[in-house]
Structure 1
């Protein structure tokens, strides 16, 4: 069954690449469907995408944008490839004034 999903993913990616330059906008959706199918079917592909997202911040921001706007099931598949540093935990940029040991005036 896994082989069937991998074949389908590669077929979608190849069709997407072949139709990317046509005036009918079918290339990008086919590439996206192929990528999501490949990630869902193969752990190595998910790990490879996770490493690429960690190394390339612009690619990661594109995938975060896709995660937020895709249906729940597809977003869950894409979130599996989110690098550990991009899990949504952001450092505080403003110090807490109520915390012990801090004065309200710098």
Structure 2
């Protein structure tokens, strides 16, 4: 979806930045307990495929995962259109939603 508002994320992952015609990394956010629950099982070297709006597919390979405190470290979206960044809340099994920790997966073409 073309937003990371709470309303949009209720229906699916949202685009934060990047994409076709952009020099920024394609950055998507989604809920940890629905659409992005699979992030917990990713490992370095795993492949991800993104289908763009025009139907073309772009393949990425996971290069890193990290936990970031969103209150202490603002998200820096790199100027790298060959990167995919996936973001969700952390921990995956948190009982209370809305904490400051984010799980960030970075993948490269």
TM, length-normalised to structure 2 = 0.26
TM, length-normalised to structure 1 = 0.26
Q: Which has the larger radius of gyration?
A: 1
Please state which structure has a larger fraction of its residues in strand: 2
Please state which structure has a larger fraction of its residues in helix: 1
Q: Which structure has more RCO (C-alpha within 8 Å, separation ≥ 6)?
A: 2
